[in-house]
Amino acid sequence: MKTVNANGAHIPELGFGTFRMPEPEVLAILPKALAEGFTHVDTAQIYDNEAAVGAAIEKSGIARDSLFLTTKVWVDNYGRDRFAASVEESLKKLGTDHVDLLLLHWPNEAVPLEAQIGELNAVRERGLARNIGVSNFNSALMAEAVRLSTAPLATNQVEYHPYLDQMKVLEAAETYGMALTAYYAMADGKVPNDPVLKEIGAAHGKSAAQVVLRWLIQQPDVVALTKTATESRIAENLAVFDFVLSPDEMMRIHRLARPDGRIVSPDGLAPAWDRAA
């Protein structure tokens, strides 16, 4: 699979996400996804499925060094007294001595960002994470995190789909040599039935979902997370490297963005989001 090179982190363009996947589902579907060709797996402490992800990787028989594994530190663990211990616990659950990418999951004003970034760098220096980054940061927080970090940051993982303009974050990522990792690519089920996306898909013999995944990874330095609990859709999600969207098709998809397109914005966690460009 092609990779995005973001400040030395070679991140596979498509990742298998495990958000809201209970452990039995992870154990059933993840080994099949790895067998089909996924090499990038995304989880988080708060998903409560790291142990299942680790067991599924072991079950797959695929060598650990052939995979790119991401997890995220939850906001309650940002303090100096909990950060490293929480990462060690994640690694134990995952059955590995390191992750390829470790992210701060959401901003948390209760702990100074300098302390959060310091702890992130410290676990990287110990070899517990090969690369580090952030998630759900706006462009201003990205700038501050980059300034505070000794090591380069690899990515900002954010909500991104055709209905949400993320140009400010994309521009910031480009400035800092970071990738943008897109979650909620299917916009909580809106994508498959969109008439514009279906029309573009028909022209390529692809589904609307495949069109959106292609649209994401066709943008420079964008990584897309995809998720399914249905075995038949694994191959469909991977079949996005054999066609190219035209500049006009790319623009038609960008134009689907709307002011109320954001879906994920939890109270107490979400920052002041960037306004559309």
Measure the CA–CA gap between 126 and 129, rounded to whole angstroms: 8
Adjacent-strand bridge partners of 226? 16
Q: CB neighbours of 24 closer than 8 A, spacing ≥ 6?
A: 52
Give the N- to C-terminal CA distance of the chain in Å, as an integer: 32
Contact 44, 252 (CB under 8 A): no
Residue tagged active-site, from 47, 78, 183, 184? 47
Annotated binding residue 204? no
What tokens were used for 269?
């966690």
Told to judge if 176 belongs to the known catalytic residues of this protein, a careful annotator would answer no
Measure the CA–CA gap between 155 and 135, rounded to whole angstroms: 8
CB atoms within 10 A of CB 204: 16
Annotated binding site: 105
Catalytic residues, by residue number, are 47
Annotated binding site for substrate: 105
